[in-house]
């Protein structure tokens, strides 16, 4: 059974930048979902099986910590095995205060979080590996 839990942002200082947090967990999955266009940028922290995105007949194998940029067209997501993903959905302008980089080039792209901003990626990896995110969620 697919269970995605969505958490609203209750801390006022984050509310202008982050839409919501989410957590997705599935055991022994074999999923293929259509992702519709969105106006948010998602940071995915995926310590489980790899994710493959399919867009315009191209398959992209995402790194465990990646950004799924603004989407102007639909795509598909494929994943198998035991899935555990933490996600942060930012407003289209919401990541800038955290990374101080323009994300214009992320339109319809999957970007390795380590390539974009290594310090943030390392902090997120530490939070996931220490179980800090699970304590919050």
Q: What is the mean pLDDT of residues 103-108?
A: 84
Q: Which residue ranges make up each domain of the chain?
A: 3-136
Share of the chain above pLDDT 70, in %: 93
Q: What is the mean pLDDT of residues 8-19?
A: 93
pLDDT band at residue 9 under the 50/70/90 scheme: very high
What is the number of alpha carbons within 13 Å of residue 88 lying toward its C-beta?
20
- Beta-bridge partners for 52: 61, 78
What number does CATH give the domain 3-136?
2.60.120.10
Give the rounded distance of the alpha carbon of 52 from its chain centre.
Answer: 13
pTM (2 d.p.): 0.87
Residue closest to 50 by CA, chosen among 34, 61, 65: 61
Q: What is the pLDDT of residue 131?
A: 66
């Amino acid at each position: 059974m697919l269970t995605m839990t969505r958490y609203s942002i209750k801390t006022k200082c984050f509310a202008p930048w982050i839409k919501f947090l989410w957590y997705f967990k599935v055991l022994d999955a074999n999923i293929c979902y259509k992702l519709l266009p969105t106006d948010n940028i998602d940071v995915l922290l995926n310590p489980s099986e790899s994710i493959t995105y399919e867009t315009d007949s191209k398959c992209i194998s995402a790194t465990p910590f990646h950004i799924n940029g603004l989407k102007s067209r639909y795509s598909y997501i494929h994943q198998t095995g035991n899935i555990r993903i933490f996600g942060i959905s930012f407003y289209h302008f919401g990541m800038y205060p955290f990374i101080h980089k323009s994300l214009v080039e992320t339109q319809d792209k999957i970007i390795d979080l380590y390539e974009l901003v290594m310090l943030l990626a390392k902090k997120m990896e530490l939070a996931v590996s220490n179980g800090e995110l699970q304590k919050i969620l």
